[in-house]
Amino acid sequence: MLNLLPEWTYHYGEFWKAIKIRNLWFIRLRYLAAVILFGFFLTGEFLFHLNFSIEQIIAINGINFLILLYNVIVHSIRKYVSSEPGKFNGLHLSLIQMILDLSALMLLVYYTGLIESPLYMFFIFHMIIGSLILPGYIIYITAGLVSCAFALLTFFQRLNLIENHFIPGLYTGSRPHTLTYDILFVIIFAIMLFISVYIANKIAHQLYQRERQLRSSLEKLNEAEIAKQKYTIGIVHEIKTPIAAVHSILELIKNGYVGNVSELVEQKIQRAELRTEEALQLIKNILNISKLRLLEIRLTDEINVSVFIKNILDTFSDMAKEKSIALIFVDNTNEQLSIKSDKILLELVISNVISNALKYVEEGGTVEVRLDFKEEKFSIEVCDNGIGIPQKETDKIFEQFYRASNIDRTIHEGSGMGLAIVKEIVEKLGGIIKVTSPSRLAQANRPGTNFEIVIPTRYKQNEYDIFEVNKEDYLES
Ligand code: ATP
Ligand code: MG
């Protein structure tokens, strides 16, 4: 099998993908070309009165029919063509298409006046397209063959060895050109073909090279990110061990296992214990976000989203009651929505946003969770009438450790990591998260916040995710 693969594209998967896409693009373009050719014939004949001869009418429409026919055949076999260098592959299909197109075009040009044909420019267009796919030497050979065929036909015509098919409606006299004109035309035509091939080939080559460089930089960046996350996990784990030990010791002292402690000491120990708990919570969040970045997500859990959200809301009902908050669920999917996703990660997302709403809504407030489904995406909206987020800060709240300026740190505990984790997961699931404040539940002094999470139900995971684990053991809880 003829090897058409340019040497600079060996072992390069992207190349085959591009070839497949371009082949399909040519097929679609060819359907359009057939329609345009028919349009050219109709307008030429009936609007501009070009007076095509009977032979020309049969030839133009016959060639157009053939173009459509081979296009349908190529279109239907396209899917079965391999992407392997040694076999009949996408490049061979491109070459066959190019040969068929050039032959059809040569016939069309011949039947519409050859050197006088308004269609000859399409050869250049074909050369450029061919150069984007096939190796240079094939296109140079093709350009040579097209130039020779064009020159031969022109001179056979001049010598009356073959019939002339000028479009009658375009001319007043008989033969409009001298021999010198024909020679010049053919030479310039050939030069134009070769220059077009040269330029297009160079550009295609450079584009593939650039693409390859980009991909390799991306891979290096990804490796560096993985190394960074592993390093963070290592360090933070080391810090976690002594803090956990301090926490246990404080508990021993507080519970009187090492002798009696005065009330004042107990108070101080309680404070110290609280601070170590905060530090442990922070460590847990940092570990989770780093681990999430290394995690491969398998969308294999069958989830009925309505039931899933109801169950999560149940776990928050006591907390809502304590603060007299109305926790409302509006389900616009009629409990029909069943998806394949990752239960643990999805739960982490939804509970984080709901727990924030409950945390930042004052006594007697409202938190409304709304579920919708459209265009293969489901959206979960968590809307409240709490303290809201200052408009200038809405973009920053997804950054690690960021907490908005309007919170009261003595009441609202936290490390500012929850939403960073949420964003990380939502993006891994191929979705987006948006925040707006004030929300549609806004009241006087209660601007409220609205979080909207949109996740596609079909999603191809990132090819760089590196390993799969049991998330319940893997993530810190
Ligand atoms: P934790 O790490 O415990 O979640 P946190 O809740 O402060 O701490 P995030 O969940 O990341 O951290 O939220 C970041 C900030 O966004 C919060 O500190 C708060 O200022 C703001 N925020 C988030 N949700 C709301 C909400 N529903 N209403 C008002 N402000 C909010
Ligand atoms: Mg939070």
Q: Counting ligands in written order, which one lies closest to the CA of residue 420?
A: 1
Q: Counting ligands in written order, which one lies closest to the CA of residue 405?
A: 1
Q: Give me ligand 1 centre to Cα 320, in Å.
A: 17
Quote the tokens at residue 322.
């304590």
Which protein residues have their CB within 5 A of the ion that is ligand 2? 356, 418
Q: Give me ligand 1 centre to Cα 404, in Å.
A: 7
The answer, yes or no, to whether residue 341 has pLDDT greater than 70, is: yes
- Is the peptide bond prior to 438 cis by the omega test (within 30 degrees of 0)? yes
The answer, yes or no, to whether residue 328 has pLDDT greater than 70, is: yes
pLDDT digits (tens, 9 = 90+) for 49-69: 888 999 999 999 999 999 999
What average pLDDT does the segment 90-113 reach? Answer: 93
Q: Give me ligand 1 centre to Cα 246, in Å.
A: 28
The answer, yes or no, to whether residue 220 has pLDDT greater than 90, is: yes
Q: Is 109 left (phi over 0), alpha (psi -120 to 50) or beta?
A: alpha
Of 13-17, 69-73, 206-210, the least confident: 13-17
Across all residues in the chain, what is the average pLDDT? 88
What average pLDDT does the segment 389-403 reach? Answer: 94
What average pLDDT does the segment 435-457 reach? Answer: 93
Instruction: Return the pLDDT at 315.
Output: 94
**Which of 354, 356, 359 is the pocket-test mutation for ligand 1 (most atoms within 8 Å of CB)?**
356
- Domains of the chain, by residue range, sit at 7-176, 298-460
Q: Give me ligand 1 centre to Cα 383, in Å.
A: 14
Instruction: Return the pLDDT at 280.
Output: 92
What's the CATH superfamily of 298-460? Histidine kinase-like ATPase, C-terminal domain (3.30.565.10)
Q: Which of 389, 292, 396, 397 is nearest to 346 (CA)?
A: 292
pLDDT digits (tens, 9 = 90+) for 144-195: 999 999 999 999 998 999 998 888 888 776 666 788 988 999 999 999 999 9
Give the confidence band of 354 by pLDDT, cuts at 50, 70, 90. Answer: very high
The answer, yes or no, to whether residue 459 has pLDDT greater than 60, is: no
The answer, yes or no, to whether residue 106 has pLDDT greater than 90, is: yes
**Which of 403, 421, 476 is the pocket-test mutation for ligand 1 (most atoms within 8 Å of CB)?**
403
Pairing of strands 377-384, 450-456: antiparallel
Q: Give me ligand 1 centre to Cα 389, in Å.
A: 9
Instruction: Return the pLDDT at 470.
Output: 63
Give the confidence band of 465 by pLDDT, cuts at 50, 70, 90. Answer: very low
Q: 431: Cβ below 6 Å to ligand 1? A: no
Q: 397: Cβ below 6 Å to ligand 1? A: yes
pLDDT digits (tens, 9 = 90+) for 20-49: 888 898 899 999 999 999 999 999 999 988
**Nearest-angstrom CA–CA distance, 176 and 36:** 28
The secondary structure of residue 328, as a DSSP letter, is E
* Helices and strands counted in the chain (H then E): 11, 7
pLDDT digits (tens, 9 = 90+) for 82-91: 777 778 888 8
The answer, yes or no, to whether residue 208 has pLDDT greater than 90, is: no
**Nearest-angstrom CA–CA distance, 400 and 247:** 25
At what angle are helices 90-111 and 13-42 packed, to 10 degrees? 20
Instruction: Return the pLDDT at 13.
Output: 66
Pairing of strands 432-436, 377-384: unpaired
Q: Give me ligand 2 centre to Cα 64, in Å.
A: 65
The answer, yes or no, to whether residue 461 has pLDDT greater than 50, is: no
The answer, yes or no, to whether residue 466 has pLDDT greater than 50, is: no
Q: 389: Cβ below 6 Å to ligand 1? A: yes
The structure's pTM equals: 0.60
What is the residue with the minimal CA distance to atom 25 of ligand 1? 356
